[in-house]
Structure 1
Amino acid sequence: MPAPAPATRSGTKALAALILAVLSYSLVQTMLVPTLGVLQTALDTSAVGASWAVLSATLLASAVFTPLISRLGDSHGKRKVLLVTLVVHLAGNVGAAAAWNVGSLIAFRAVQGVSLALLPLSLGLIREVLPPHRVAFGLGLTSGLVGGAAGAGLLVGGLIVDHTSWRWLFVAGAGLVLLALLAVARYVPESRSTSPTPLDLPGAVLLGMALVCVLLALTEGPAWGWASGRLLGLFAGGVLFAALFLWWEHRAPHPLIDPALLLGRPIAGAHIGAFLLGATQFVFYVLVPKLAELPTGLPPQAAHLVDYGFGASVTVAGLILIPGTLLGLPASSAVGRVERRLGPRAPLALGLAVSAVGGASMALFHAREWQAVTAYAVIGTGFGLAMGALPKLIHDVTQPQAIATANGINTVARTVGGAVGSQLAAALLASRAISGTSLPDGTGFTLSFWIAAGIAMVGAVYALVGNGPRITGTEMRQQTIHDRKRAADLGMEEEKMG
């Protein structure tokens, strides 16, 4: 690997490298969504097998790996761990491109689960490589790109699936990961804020078991039945392992996650906001493309029963999300300006409120393509602002040596919220089926959009007036001292380079 360039006053090259690392995660995930039907045919598997290959295996693995990898980054250096994670992610893409059956593809997709940790590691490094006055911009832009990649990934994935083999999705993903790996190695300096401690393996196992139980229950709920004994047992197991994890972390000499990073008042609100944001996002990520594509793909005897939808291809369905994606990027980078004018809680509250307004518009008006495009443009703008707000809230109340861990928890909270949102959307559609069929009635989409808008509005009110992120005078003074020291360090390095 080439030696990393030292930090500079602007940090632009380092920020670009970290953005590539984040995109190598977020684009690859959404690019695969259009392959569900294709994989089922190409690999001679069931719908459940294809779903595990595209979504479920990565979801479970990422929830387990992300807190652990984030903690390793804080302990042993975020750049070093980021490079290792990119190498593993690259291996997962190469293996998936060469997968010989659905079992091998599921295994390689589980390996790719490490890629979710690229987000908290990169967000933690942004605090290190950028001068203080650019941190809010960098955090907002990078996190906003995660939400923005949804529409872009669907569009790119649809184009590739429509014109070539599904394997090229992983080839393209591997190329992006390799580019990110080289850029991080060249331009991102190692973090100074490390706190070497022994790894808390019991804590990692307990947390992993809790997350696996909950996410497996959410994933298999529709197939097993929401009242089945297996499902209730998994939820009970999740509660039990979570309780044991908290009990252990309060007593462990070197906890995997300081309980204050989970339950402390300044940060718990950010995690709840991330959960509600994830739930809202995935209702729209799942339902808007589905609405756009119907009744395409249905047999003639069923298609005539569906009097809604645009009959769009996967590619056109992705295009509907693009305006919202593009508007979300400037919104996410405006977090710092909104915070300075309205206070630290305002960007998250405003972003969720804007998403709620867009969701209500989608519930009222979705009979035409232009209505869906317009409504999602508002929704995407809110998502961008809210996504950019979360890492800034974490940054403001977390010490440098725990920043990746805190962002990792927040990322997992949004991921779990996304799992809840996607299953909520599926359950609502299933509950409003056309009489005598399993096809969703149009009122199922309307109800789902209203509920998503309600979740977003609850999150906005909570962020604004509830037990949301508070920044105390002491914490602000501590952050100011750290920022001044960081600015002085960058100035000294600039002089040395000159």
Structure 2
Amino acid sequence: MRIRSRAFSRLWRPGRRSCRRKSPRGPPRITSNNWNAWPRLTTRTFSARFAAPRTSGRYVVQSRPALILAALCVVEVTCTFEAMMIYAALPTLMRIFGDPNKAGWLVTIHLIVGAGSALVAARMGDLRGRKKVMLTLLAVAALGSVISAVGTAFWMVLVGRAMQGIVGAMLPLGIGVVRDALRAKKVPLGVGLIVTASSVGSASGLIVAGAIIDHLDWQWLFAASAVMLVFSLLAVWAFVPASRGADPDMPIDWIDGLLPVAGITAIVLAISLSRSAGWSDPLVLAILATGLALVILWARRNLRTPHPLISLRLLFERNVAVANVISIFMALGTYHVMLVFAPLMQAPTWTIAGMGMTATMSGLIKLPSNILSLTAGPLAGWIASRFAHRTALIIGSCIGVAGWGLTALMPDTAIQVVLLLCLISFGMTMQMTGCLNLVASSVPRESTSEAIASLAVVRTMFMAIGSQMIAVILS
């Protein structure tokens, strides 16, 4: 009888472990012998089956990463198409507006607005939520495409083109979304896919824009751009998850945000004007000095502020600094691969170095390298996740160096040019992916877009300088 009473007391004592023991086949079973456990057991069972997904801080583990990546790739294809399509239309626009300088400004204004707005837009995405900022930028760019499509005067086309340039911040924002939505091991591969989408947009921008210019009016080029931007906006709205942002209530220091925009815009403008006026022109020197003064003033003010809007200290992190140095050298040379090969292919054969190809043929020769580069981004991401980011960077650098080294032997056949372009483009895509992954993995999650935007700004400024250097060398 004493044994029975002990067993009975163990069964009915609500605080004992035996009452809370879970069945190996599922939640605990409710019987008439343990009614005291009924409220606790039903609550646990309901919460386990119907509760919201677990979160880590303000970041939710997403169950549809493929759709998120697809939407971001569509956005990147559209934004790269925006940047490249104008090059196919330049001869037509020069003839229509009667001034090569005016047509050149349609390229320059896009570059200036993209470089100037990238930092602020990316940081606002970090603080206020990246999806909101992405939708806003895409809507502004779509409106700009409509203005350029319906405008007949040059100033309307120029204003619309400036509004399109604001999409320069989409790549930093997209990488920030990838880091929020994907698991850490999948982030390098996701970044590689976005870089691959950029290669697709670059190739399609020249081919599709050339076909539109050859068969339709030039306004249809901007109409196609508007349709793609609206489609991208709908993709972001439907599939990209919303986030609250790192600090949505943080007061915005607009002086700290606008000073670098003005300085970077002035520097890029001076570099662009130097192509026609030269570096000795007083106006070019004045604009350059103003831009440098604004950047220096912003740097001093930024370093003295405990919590600045855009952290300059972030650039001095070792991995971020290494990625920026690599991007500078790539911007000075590797990114201008067609600036080197196009004159080589299109120069007359009597120059000995030229191959006498048409512009269409030189564009088709670049197509195989664009197709091959589709695998370079995911490969670099896989190598980074499997081994290390520096491994992907070293492999990409070796491939690029091999391509440029063989170029010094002066190729004289189309097959040789195709092979060299494949090597250089493949290595360049791996390097770009490696730099983006290195920065994304080295900064806090809430500063991802800001750090990637700084990398894009540095690349843009030195690409402008690199094009000038190569033009002087080739002349």
Q: TM-score range by the shorter chain?
A: 0.7 to 0.9
Map Cα deviations across residues 202-232 of structure 1 (whole Å, 9 max, x no partner). 1223212221222112111121122333333
Q: Partner of 2:46 in structure 1?
A: none
1:228 has 2:281 as partner = yes
Amino acid of the structure 1 residue aligned with 2:265? V
Cα distance between partner residues in 1 of 2:350 and 2:372: 36
Aligned in 2, Cα 1:308/1:317: closer, same or farther, shift over 3 Å? Answer: same
Whole-Å separation in 2 of the counterparts to 1:290 and 1:38: 20
Aligned residue pairs total 415
CA contact (8 A) 1:98 1:167 kept: yes
- Greater RCO, 1 or 2 (C-alpha within 8 Å, sep 6+): 1
- Structure 2-normalised TM-score? 0.82
> Displacement, 1:95?
1.2
Partner residue in 1 for 2:227: 175
Task: Tell me the distance in 1 between the aligned counterparts of 2:156 and 2:409.
Answer: 44
Please state how far the C-alpha of 1:83 moved relative to its aligned partner. 0.6
1:311 aligns with 2:357: yes
Name the stretch that deviates more: 169-178 or 180-189. Answer: 169-178
Amino acid at match of 2:143: A
For 2:101, the aligned partner's letter is: V
Report the RMSD for the aligned CA atoms in angstroms: 2.2
- 1:252-267 aligned within 5 A: 252=305, 254-267=307-320
> Which of 208, 217, 220 is residue 261 of structure 2 equivalent to?
208
Instruction: Give 1:163's aligned residue.
Output: 215
Q: Structure 1 residue 250: deviation in Å?
A: 1.6
**2-side partners of 1:390 and 1:231: how far apart?**
32
Superposed, 1:299-448 pairs within 5 Å as: 308-313=354-359, 315-340=360-385, 342-430=387-475
- Is contact 2:320-2:439 (8 Å) kept? yes
Distance 2:443 2:316 in 1: 13
- 1:148 deviates by 4.7
Q: Distance in 2 between matches of 1:427 and 1:151?
A: 27
| Aligned-pair identity (%) | 28
For residue 57 of structure 1, report the CA deviation from its aligned partner: 0.5
Deviates more, 1:97-106 or 1:122-131: 97-106
C-alpha distance in 1, partners of 2:62/2:252? 33
Instruction: Tell me the equivalent position of 2:302.
Output: 249
1:22 aligns with 2:67: no
Contact 1:219 1:423 in 2 (8 A): no
- Equivalent residue for 2:141? 89
Name the CA shift for 1:228/1:119 in 2 (closer, same or farther; >3 Å).
same
Aligned residue for 1:364, secondary structure, equals coil
Q: Describe how 1:89-238 pairs up with structure 2 within 5 A.
A: 89-196=141-248, 197-238=250-291
Change (3 A) 1:368 1:241: same
Give the deviation of 1:411 after TM superposition.
1.3
Three-state SS of the structure 2 residue aligned to 1:87 is helix
How far apart, CA to CA, are the structure 2 residues paired with 1:378 and 1:277? 15
Contact 2:185 2:385 (8 Å CA) reproduced:
no
Distance in 1 (CA, whole Å) between partners of 2:245 and 2:436 is: 17
Q: TM-score w.r.t. structure 1 length? A: 0.78
The 3 A distance-change label for structure 1 pair 357 and 101 is: farther
Amino acid at match of 2:114: S
Structure 1 runs (4+) greater than 6 angstroms displaced: 303-307
Match of 1:38 among 76, 84, 92: 92
* Residues 49-88 of structure 1 mapped to structure 2, 5 A cutoff: 49-53=102-106, 55-88=107-140
Distance 1:316 1:165, change over 3 A: farther
Q: Is the 8 A contact 1:121 1:404 kept in 2?
A: yes
Structure showing greater Rg: 2
Contact 1:86/1:115 (<8 A) preserved? yes
Q: Output one character per residue of 1:352-398: Cα deviation in whole Å (capped at 9) or x when no partner.
A: 33222212223323333222211100011011111211221112111
The structural deviation recorded for 1:253 is 5.1
Change beyond 3 A, Cα 1:340–1:108: closer
Unaligned runs of 5+ in 2: 1-59
CA distance, structure 2, for counterparts of residue 282 and residue 336 of structure 1:
20
In structure 2, give the amino acid aligned to 1:229. Answer: P
> What secondary structure does 1:397 align onto?
coil
Q: Deviations over 1:23-76 (max 9, x none)?
A: 1110121121121111011223x11111111x1001111111110100110110
TM-superposition CA deviations, 1:316-353 (whole Å, max 9, x none): 33222222112222111112332255532222233233
Q: Following the alignment from structure 1 to structure 2, what is the Cα–Cα distance between the partners of residues 105 and 194?
A: 37
Tell me if structure 2 keeps the 8 A contact 1:362–1:371. Answer: no
Counterpart-to-counterpart distance in 1, 2:216 and 2:407: 33
CA–CA separation in structure 2 for the residues paired with 1:240 and 1:308: 44
